[in-house]
A = this chain, B = another copy of it.
Amino acid sequence: MIITVSREFASGGRELGKRLADYLGIPCYDHQIIEAVAKDTDMTENFVAGLSEKFMHSFYPATIGRNFGASYYAVNQSVQVAVAEHEFIKKVAKSGDCVIVGRAADEVLRDEVLFSFFVCADDDSKIARCKQRGQDAEKLSDKEILRKCKDIDKDRCNYRSLYSAKKWGEASSYDLCINTSGKEIKELVPAIAEYIKVWYGTKQNG
C-alpha cells in the first residue's frame, strides 16, 4: 500500500497524510525526505527545504538575470535536490507500505500500484489554517496570506509539470481529490482509509 498526497498549500494535506499513516499504522514521509537528502548531501535542512518542489521558481528568474554562473549553480542544486528526493522516495516505496507527501511522488513511482490523492480547500479555510498555524501569518492580511498560498501552489504546479503530463490539481490526475473546506481533518481520516482499502482490494482483484 503506497499512498501519495499532493496538496494545495494550507489545505491540510500534510496533516491528512500524517493522520492517515497513523490510522493505517504505516510510516509517513514528508519532512523526513528533506532530512534524508540533507544528510546525503552537504546542504543544511533549511537549504534543502528552500529548494524542494521549487525547480522552476529558481530556474526562470535566475537565468534571466546577468549572473549566469551563479544562477546555473542554483539550478544545478535544485536538480540535485529533486534527484536525491526522488531516489529516496523510490527507496522507501520498495521497503514497504507508506504515505508520501508531495514531490510529485505519484509520478516518480508511476510504475508501482499506488493510490494517489490531492487535497484542496477554499480560500476561507486556507486563511483560517494559516492563522491557526501562526508563524508569519499573524503579520499578514488575508489577501497577503492568499497571495503566499497561490505563489507556493504555482511552484508546486510548475515542479510537477517537469515530471508529469498529468496536471497538478486536476481531478483526472489523481485517484481521489478531497476538499477539506470547513472540515476537521481527523474526522475525515477513517472514511478516506476505508476508501483506499476498498480501492486496493478491487485493484488486486481486477
B-binding residues in A (CB < 8 A): 8, 118, 120-122, 169-172, 174-179, 181-184, 187-188, 190-192, 194-195, 197-199, 201-203, 206
Contact = CB atoms under 8 A, between A and B. Distances in A.
B170 A172 contact: no
Best-buried of A171, A194, A197 by chain B (most CB within 10 Å): A171
Contact of A171 (B118, B183, B197): B118
Contact of A176 (B122, B178, B197, B199): B178
Q: How many of these chains are in the complex?
A: 2
A167 to B, nearest CB: 10
A154 B14 CA distance: 34
Contact of A194 (B118, B182, B191): B191
B187 A120 contact: no
Nearest to A8: B172
Given A187-B198, A191-B195, A202-B184, A172 B176 contact: no
B174 A187 contact: no
10 contacts: A122-B172, A174-B177, A176-B176, A176-B177, A182-B203, A183-B199, A183-B202, A187-B201, A191-B191, A194-B194
A191 B198 contact: yes
B184 A188 contact: no
A201 B172 CA distance: 28
Given A187-B201, A191-B198, A199-B188, A169 B169 contact: no
Best-buried of A122, A174, A177, A179 by chain B (most CB within 10 Å): A177
Contacts of A178: 176
A22 B120 CA distance: 29
A144 to B, nearest CB: 20
Nearest to A11: B172
Nearest to A172: B120
Contacts of A195: 188, 191-192, 194-195
